[in-house]
Structure 1
Amino acid sequence: MATEFQERHSGTGRLLLRRVLQLVTAAALAVSAAVHADLAPGYDAIGAHLTQGTLFRLEAAVAALAALLVLVAGHRRSVWVFAALVAASALGVLLLYRYVDVGALGPVPNMYEPAWFPKKTTTAIAEAVATVTAIAGFLTARRPH
């Protein structure tokens, strides 16, 4: 009897945890998407064929897709991997170009910007949160049988 009760409530707790992780991860990815989309027009002049504005729009679209997938298919471990990769790569690129003048890399323009400003800080925090919660979501998602 106690075992059945524990199993039922641990399943409820696991589901609640997954829902919280889904909501927090999706919200953080949505913040990243919104900030990138909002900033994109201001970066359209940086770069020749491939502009930083275009890259920001692409990041916004991928982050929005990851947020949507986390909400609708958060039971799948692959979705959590995708969300973690999207968030971690965005944060990594932001930090790289904040602290290192990499220069242009092929078609990718030089995006070095050695300053913090509110929207940049907001998206960095959101991407860090999304990375951590997506990893937690992956670790708590059931393995396929």
Structure 2
Amino acid sequence: MAAVSLVLRGVAAVGLAVDAYIHLKLAHQYSSVTSSTVSEGTLFRIEAAAATIAALLVVFWRHVAGDAFAWLTAAAGLAAILLYRYADPGTLGPLPDMYEPTWFADKVWALIGQAAAIAALTPLLARRRRPRSGNPASTG
């Protein structure tokens, strides 16, 4: 089971690293898309920072809170890619209008990285939530 956990953590970390790299690489291109509060470039930098922290937590901390943060970071990024690819919600509160109805290589790689992280972290989180056999709290 330890080997499976290491592989899953490696997949999650690589997926998050790809996500971070792509968002940081593209941030300057989206800095001109702004609301009155924040630019899309700034949001890309925030996503890159969150994904970097998440990858480090998955590899070095190995705690359910870090895994949950990493899962939520990847899920939020994936949701944003899909929402703004397939829907045009316009400006949402402080967020700029980020609608972009096209696919291109970097967007696909970010999506793959996020999806891989979610797929790898889900069993790690699910395993921790199940009571262990022989645990007095699980009988009853």
TM range (shorter): 0.7 to 0.9
RMSD: 1.7
User: What's the offset of the Cα at 1:115?
Assistant: 0.1
* SS state at 1:86 partner: helix
State the percentage of identical aligned residues: 43
Partner of 1:39: 26
Distance 1:33 1:61 in 2: 7
Q: Which runs of 5+ in 2 are unaligned?
A: 136-140
Partner of 2:47: 59
Distance 1:65 1:17 in 2: 22
1:18–1:141: 8 Å Cα contact kept in structure 2?
Answer: no
Greater Cα offset, 128-137 or 58-67? 128-137
Q: Which runs of 5+ in 1 are unaligned?
A: 1-13
**Cα deviation code 1:76-112 (max 9, x no counterpart):** 2222211111101100011000000010012210000
Query: Which among 67, 78, 83 is matched to residue 91 of structure 1?
Result: 78
Partner of 1:117: 104
Task: Tell me the TM-score normalised to structure 2 length.
Answer: 0.88
Partner of 1:19: 6
Larger Rg: 1
1:77–1:143: 8 Å Cα contact kept in structure 2?
Answer: no
Partner of 2:138: none
Partner of 1:69: 57
Partner of 1:30: 17
Distance 1:141 1:39 in 2: 35
Partner of 1:106: 93
Distance 1:68 1:141 in 2: 19
**Cα deviation code 1:113-132 (max 9, x no counterpart):** 00000000111111111111
User: What's the offset of the Cα at 1:139?
Assistant: 2.2
1:77–1:141: 8 Å Cα contact kept in structure 2?
Answer: yes
